[in-house]
A = this chain, B = another copy of it.
Amino acid sequence: MPHLVILYTKNLDAETDCDALCRALAEVMVALRDEDGQPVFPTGGVRVLAYPAAHAAVADGQRDYAFVYLNLRMARGRSAEVKQRTGAALLAAARAHLAPLFAQRYLGLTLQIDEGQEVFDAKHSTIHPLFRKE
């Protein structure tokens, strides 16, 4: 955690660099600070995974629509201010990356943040230790 999963229509793969979008959003997550100036997310826990849909249908299907859905799952218990700040920063980064497309095509972007309500949670990582000294 946190995990940002991007589901999108595959027509975007030919029109924008989705690796760059993932990296831009990861940078936002790494850079986020809370009210006390502390990192919101541990660097070693940031992951962004993007999935073009093999098949899709959007709205009435009468035009060449594209769609991007961003879903961030974060741990429970962060402040309302942190949630708002996180959402606003991710939305701004996604809109900036997609601005050339918004200017020229039918495109929908939705961002939702969920707090995980998991009943079991475990991890094992050789990535986190790299960032322990932060």
Residues of chain A at the chain B interface (Cβ within 8 Å): 1, 3, 5-9, 13, 18-19, 21-23, 25-26, 30, 43-61, 63, 65, 67, 69, 72, 80, 83-84, 86-88, 91, 95, 102, 105-128, 130-131
Question: In the complex, what residues of B have CB within 8 A of residue A65's CB?
Answer: 127
C-alpha spacing A61/B44, complex, angstroms: 10
Contact A124 B95, CB 8 Å, known A3-B69, A44-B59, A53-B50 = yes
Q: Given B23, B61, B91, B119, which contacts A61 in the complex, CB threshold below 8 Å?
A: B23
CA distance A52 to B51 in the complex (A): 8
Cβ–Cβ contact A54 & B50, under 8 A? yes
The smallest C-beta distance from A120 to any residue of chain B, in angstroms, reads 3
Selected A-B contacts with CB under 8 Å, 29 pairs: A3-B69, A9-B49, A13-B54, A22-B56, A26-B57, A43-B59, A46-B58, A47-B58, A47-B67, A47-B69, A47-B108, A59-B131, A63-B130, A65-B127, A80-B119, A83-B120, A86-B120, A87-B120, A102-B126, A107-B127, A108-B127, A109-B125, A110-B121, A111-B121, A112-B121, A113-B120, A113-B121, A114-B119, A117-B117
CA distance A131 to B13 in the complex (A): 26
